[in-house]
Amino acid sequence: MNFNDIVPYLDPADKEESLKEFFGREDIKSFLSEKWKEYTDTEVTLPKDTDEQPLSVQPEEIQTVTNPETPVDMPFIPSIPDDEETRARYQSLFSETRHEMFSRKLKGTHIQFQNGKVNQPYQMLLDVMDLGMPEVGRLEFIGLNEIGLNFNPETCLVEGIPTTSGDFKIKLQCYLQDWKEGDPVFEKPVTLIINPDPRALWNSIPTPEDIPYYKPDSDCKYVKIGRTKGFLGMGAENRKDMVAASQRGRSHAHEGKPRDDDFSIIHNDNTEWYTAIVADGAGSAEYSRKGSEIACRTVSEVCDTHLTKYSKEIDELIKDFDRDNSDSKRKKLGDALYNILGSAVFKAYKNIEQEAVGNDAQLKDYSTTLLVALSKKYKFGWFVATFWVGDGGIGIYNKETGYLKIMGEPDGGDFAGQTRFLTMGEVMQPTEIYKRLRFEIVEDFTALVLMTDGVTDPKFETDSNLQKPEKWDALWKDITSKVELTDDNEASAQQLLKWLDFWSPGNHDDRTIAIIY
Amino acid sequence: MRKLPVYLVLDTSGSMHGEPIEAVKNGVQVLVSTLRQDPYALETAHLSIITFDERAKQVSPLTELSMFQLPSLTANGTTCLGAALSLLAERIEAEVHKSTAEKKGDWRPLVFIMTDGAPTDNWERGLEDFRKTKCAMVVACAAGQSAQTKVLKKITDTVVSLDTADSMTIKAFFKWVSASVSFGSQKVESTHQEIAGMSELPPPPPEVNIVL
């Protein structure tokens, strides 16, 4: 067969049908396979620039080249022409695989932002080398600016101060080395979590004023005790003042629930007795806010009445005890205090019981702790008597001498299991009341402090820490840095109330503190 | 700060493959982002995830909620519940602090176990280890019909079941877990008391049945 036989089928074009028919012919098939065999068996020839060759050329016109390095019985692999067009074509093929490879790699690379917090500086290193992607020339992030962050390509740092909280989808864009217009940009969504400021999550809902036993969400008081008169202006001296504040806890404010704590501070100008009381109504008891209020008011009133009535007798017993520290003198003074403070406490218990009966409620619905301190200055020093039931703390603290006396034991602490309340019958047994009475004569003190557990929990954490002078030093430093506890400074009541708002994660109970200083 | 540890012990065996494991992943994500909005939980709750298939693995150590990052979860293999219980006991021992004189310890952990099949290992031995730890509350969830509530009842009194392990049901379960953690965090912060029983948890949604 002659090649010329084929030519009419090919030229002119537009003969698709007949072409198919032609190549389907048995003789053509066998001819072609014969020719192919011939071709592969003889010296390898390569048509040059086939694209440009007219198909009508004669076989003898085709120039042949010999590839000396290729053995004749091996299939021939044509070498890639080294012209610009071919190079360009192969280059694009090559970069396509490079792109595919990178795309796969990016998909498989775990990229995670560390979590941030609103209003707190954020910084995270995002280095392509660390990520194992050295082929990346440039990184960009879409969505960072909106939340107050940006990426610094020089330092590879994502930094800034996040302005909003939430789970954000940030789009990471990778530009490969030698990137030019038209090249693909590789993207990967990465989640960035910005936590809200915990402080912003706490609502402050005012307590509805129409609830039974409503009481204001905060309270504070200052009792100013002027200078002693002295003799013709001589020898006049400053006297200690009293300040107290009570603040509803965040956990109550969050739900519009009332403050359960209460306090009472009074100074009797005639007897010169100081009385300071704090009480913490149990969170689980429905009317505990009333229980703490009744306790504070009753004890304060009853003590004042008794101390006025028996002022001289008590003075004598205390002076006696100062002179003679014997057990018998101690017992005498203790008995007298039991009759004053103990009976005041018992009266508080009875008053709460009466309130509960009147309100058709149970005594335990009014559960409250109670911490009382009575104090008076004598020539030989300060006399302090206390009664303490429940958690919280009473301490006599002297910054100068490092003296610290904790006036009892917090029951319901770490190991006792259950908190004791004034409203428990077993606490009102005479021996139990007696056990909870303490008294002491000290030369002087920087402060006599009474606190509910809303203050002791964050500031001391454990019962054991409550006994540590360094913890008290820290507390005192903290208070006096915010509250000007100078003589007769009535503004300190508001300052103390403001101080009570200190932030301590996980501690959002009502807080009450009373200080004689 | 006294943290409230929360352990999620999740079955990632082969039978969880597909819809169930995707629903679990989604459930955990929703749980974390919900709790981050709760001031009580954000401050006190710490979360850990232990998965079990051919072996048990703590894929997320006990981490405060604000720093928690979702682990990748894949489902294949058998159901080594026993190994998971042993690991859980070991991690609680290591990660939950006990009270000392100077520092109050953490709250006792809340544990949520979820499985969709019968254990394939010696679960009694794991249970023996686990019994030595003190948890405030252990909830076991039998997801779907193949889960064995009888085995779970041996681990804890509080067993719930899901009729099917589809995405809606699993989602409902995690929502309830999230609400329970909220309750628990609020309780320890407000009253200094731990959750002591099912009755103190929020009522479960209709998809979550209490197994008596």
The 3-class secondary structure across B142-157, one letter per residue, is EECCCCCHHHHHHHCC
Quick check: A55 pLDDT over 70? no
What's the rounded mean pLDDT across residues A443-447?
96
Cα distance between residue A187 and residue A111, in whole Å:
12
The tens digit of pLDDT for each residue in A252-270 reads 999 999 999 999 999 999 9
Chains A & B: contacts with CB separation below 8 Å: 67
- Residue A60, token pair as written in the block: 């003898």
The tens digit of pLDDT for each residue in A262-308 reads 999 999 999 999 999 999 998 889 999 999 999 999 999 999 999 99
* pLDDT attached to residue A76: 64
Q: Which of helix, strand or coil describes residue B183?
A: helix
A387 Cβ partners below 8 Å, 6+ apart?
A: A299, A341, A342, A345, A370, A371, A372, A433, A436, A437, A438
- Residue A284, token pair as written in the block: 């689980």
What's the rounded mean pLDDT across residues B50-74?
94
For residue A187, give the H/E element and its range: strand A186-195
Asked if A375 and A516 touch (Cβ cutoff 8 Å), the reply is yes
B182 contacts chain A (CB < 8 A): no
Amino acid at A377: K
Amino acid at A344: A
Cα–Cα distances in angstroms (integers) from residue A180 to residues A91, A137, A175, A176, in the given order? 14, 11, 9, 9
Quick check: A36 pLDDT over 50? yes
Asked if A236 and A228 touch (Cβ cutoff 8 Å), the reply is yes
Q: Which of helix, strand or coil describes residue A56?
A: coil
Task: Name every chain B residue with its beta carbon within 8 A of the beta carbon of A463.
Answer: 101
In terms of phi and psi (left: phi > 0; alpha: psi -120 to 50; beta: otherwise), the region of A14 is left
Question: Phi first, then psi: what are they for B211, rounded to 5°?
Answer: -90, 120
What's the rounded mean pLDDT across residues A411-428?
72
The tens digit of pLDDT for each residue in A67-126 reads 555 555 555 666 767 777 777 666 666 666 888 889 988 988 888 899 999 999 999 998
Of A193, A462, A509, nearest to B104 by CB-CB distance is A462
Q: Which domains, and CATH codes, for chain A? A: 3-79 (no CATH), 86-199 (2.60.40.10), 216-228+237-305+366-516 (3.60.40.10)
Higher-scoring residue by pLDDT: A16, A399: A399
Mutate to test the interface with A, among B26, B34, B40 (most CBs of A within 10 A): B40
* pLDDT attached to residue A63: 47
Mean pLDDT (chain B) is: 93
Q: Specify the range with the lowest mean pLDDT, choosing from A195-199, A219-223, B48-52.
A: A195-199
Measured in whole angstroms, how far is the alpha carbon of residue A220 from the centre of its chain?
29
Asked if B35 and B2 touch (Cβ cutoff 8 Å), the reply is no
Q: What was the ipTM of the complex prediction?
A: 0.81
What's the rounded mean pLDDT across residues B111-121?
94
Query: What is the tally of structural domains in chain B?
Result: 1
Bridge partner list, B6: B47, B110
Residue holding tokens 């779907």? B144
Helix-then-strand count for chain B, H and E = 6, 7
Task: Name every chain B residue with its beta carbon within 8 A of the beta carbon of A508.
Answer: 189-190
* Interchain CB distance below 8 Å, B44 and A464: no
Tell me which residue of B120, B117, B159 sits closest to B16, measured CA to CA: B117
* pLDDT attached to residue B163: 93
Give the chain A residue whose CA is nearest to the CA of B3.
Answer: A506
B68 contacts chain A (CB < 8 A): yes
Q: Report helix, strand and coil shares of chain A as percent, to nearest 5.
A: 35, 20, 40
**Counting Cβ atoms within 10 Å, is residue B67 exposed (0-12), middle (13-18) or buried (19+)?**
middle
What's the rounded mean pLDDT across residues A354-358?
96
* Interchain CB distance below 8 Å, A250 and B39: yes
* Interchain CB distance below 8 Å, A464 and B102: yes
Quick check: B154 pLDDT over 80? yes
* Interchain CB distance below 8 Å, B42 and A196: yes
Task: Name every chain B residue with its beta carbon within 8 A of the beta carbon of A201.
Answer: 37-39, 42
- Residue A291, token pair as written in the block: 């229980």
The CATH number of residue B97's host domain is: 3.40.50.410
* Interchain CB distance below 8 Å, B189 and A505: no
- Residue A179, token pair as written in the block: 């990137």
Residue holding tokens 């101390």? A307
* Interchain CB distance below 8 Å, A195 and B99: no
Asked if B191 and A281 touch (Cβ cutoff 8 Å), the reply is no
> If pLDDT is split at 50, 70 and 90, which confidence band does A44 have?
low
Query: Are β-strands A274-280 and A261-267 bridged in parallel, bridged antiparallel, or unpaired?
Result: antiparallel
pTM of the model: 0.77
* pLDDT attached to residue A51: 47
The sheet with strand A242-247 has its strands ordered as: A218-223, A242-247, A511-516, A447-451, A393-397, A404-406
What's the rounded mean pLDDT across residues B34-47?
93
For residue A469, give the H/E element and its range: helix A469-482
Task: Name every chain B residue with its beta carbon within 8 A of the beta carbon of A196.
Answer: 36-37, 42
> If pLDDT is split at 50, 70 and 90, which confidence band does A43 have?
low
* Interchain CB distance below 8 Å, A112 and B69: yes
Asked if A111 and A158 touch (Cβ cutoff 8 Å), the reply is no
What's the rounded mean pLDDT across residues B183-194?
86
Question: Phi first, then psi: what are they for B153, rounded to 5°?
Answer: -60, -25
Give the helix ranges, DSSP H, for A244-376.
250-253, 288-309, 311-323, 327-337, 343-358
What's the rounded mean pLDDT across residues A420-445?
92
Q: To the nearest whole angstrom, how far is the Cα of B207 from the nearest Cα of chain A?
A: 28
The tens digit of pLDDT for each residue in B74-100 reads 999 999 999 999 999 999 999 999 888
Mean pLDDT (chain A) is: 87
The tens digit of pLDDT for each residue in A468-501 reads 999 999 999 999 999 999 999 999 999 999 999 9
Task: Name every chain A residue with its beta carbon within 8 A of the beta carbon of B196.
Answer: none
* pLDDT attached to residue A93: 64
Measured in whole angstroms, how far is the alpha carbon of residue A305 from the centre of its chain?
48
DSSP A164-179: S-EEEEEEEEEEETT-
Cα–Cα distances in angstroms (integers) from residue A353 to residues A259, A344, A425, B30, in the given order? 21, 14, 11, 48
Q: Specify the range with the lowest mean pLDDT, choosing from A231-245, A375-389, B160-174.
A: A231-245
What's the rounded mean pLDDT across residues A152-180?
92
Question: Phi first, then psi: what are they for A245, rounded to 5°?
Answer: -150, 150
Of A112, A193, A254, nearest to B39 by CB-CB distance is A254
Tell me which residue of A503, A515, A512, A513 sits closest to A202, measured CA to CA: A503
Sign of CA dihedral A428, A430, A435, A438: positive
Q: How many C-beta atoms surround the C-beta of residue B108 within 10 A?
A: 18
Bridge partner list, B158: B139
Bridge partner list, B162: B143, B208
Q: How many C-beta atoms surround the C-beta of residue A76 within 10 A?
A: 13
Portion of chain A with pLDDT greater than 70, in percent: 85
Task: Name every chain A residue with its beta carbon within 8 A of the beta carbon of B35.
Answer: none
What's the rounded mean pLDDT across residues B99-103?
83
> If pLDDT is split at 50, 70 and 90, which confidence band does A62 have?
very low
Quick check: B110 pLDDT over 70? yes
**Counting Cβ atoms within 10 Å, is residue A507 exposed (0-12), middle (13-18) or buried (19+)?**
buried
Quick check: A414 pLDDT over 80? no
Q: To the nearest whole angstrom, how far is the Cα of A270 from the nearest Cα of chain B?
A: 42
* pLDDT attached to residue A415: 42
Cα distance between residue A470 and residue A456, in whole Å:
14
Asked if B200 and B56 touch (Cβ cutoff 8 Å), the reply is no
Give the chain A residue whose CA is nearest to the CA of B44.
Answer: A506
Cα–Cα distances in angstroms (integers) from residue A37 to residues A27, A32, A59, A61, in the given order? 15, 9, 16, 21
Query: What's the domain range around B147?
Result: 4-211
What would you report as the CA-atom Rg of chain A, rounded to the nearest whole angstrom? 46
* pLDDT attached to residue B189: 82
Residue holding tokens 């820490």? A465
The tens digit of pLDDT for each residue in A216-228 reads 999 999 999 988 7
